[in-house]
């Protein structure tokens, strides 16, 4: 259950980070509008870093759900084998 809670926490952090990075980007983009090259680099860095984090933790969450599903399935089959005697 630890990995599941960990994944949910990081997923929330990633979403919050994406939201606040977008707000910061909007504020700063007004100030650096005169230099489109720097604005493009800044935009790429924010989107790549936060959405990469988001995708990574979504993947961790998916694997955690699958692992728990198969562990529960295995325990149910083991229980059926032990109780069928």
pLDDT digits 0-9 by tens, 24-69? 666 666 655 556 666 677 777 777 777 777 777 777 777 777 788 8
Q: Give the residue numbers spanning the domain of 29.
A: 2-83
Q: Give the pLDDT band (50/70/90) at residue 14.
A: low
| pLDDT interval class at 4 (50, 70, 90) | low
| Contact criterion met (CB below 8 Å) for 68 and 62 | no
Q: How many domains does the chain have?
A: 1
Evaluate if residue 1 carries a pLDDT over 60.
Answer: no
The whole-angstrom distance between residue 30's C-alpha and the CA centroid of its chain comes to 29
């Amino acid at each position: 259950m630890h990995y599941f809670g960990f994944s949910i926490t990081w997923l929330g952090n990633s979403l919050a980070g994406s939201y606040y990075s977008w707000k910061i980007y909007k504020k700063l983009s007004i100030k650096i509008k005169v230099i489109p090259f720097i604005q493009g680099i800044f935009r790429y860095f924010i989107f790549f870093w936060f959405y990469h984090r988001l995708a990574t933790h979504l993947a961790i969450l998916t694997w955690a759900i699958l692992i728990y599903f198969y562990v529960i399935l295995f325990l149910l089959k083991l229980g059926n084998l032990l109780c069928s005697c």
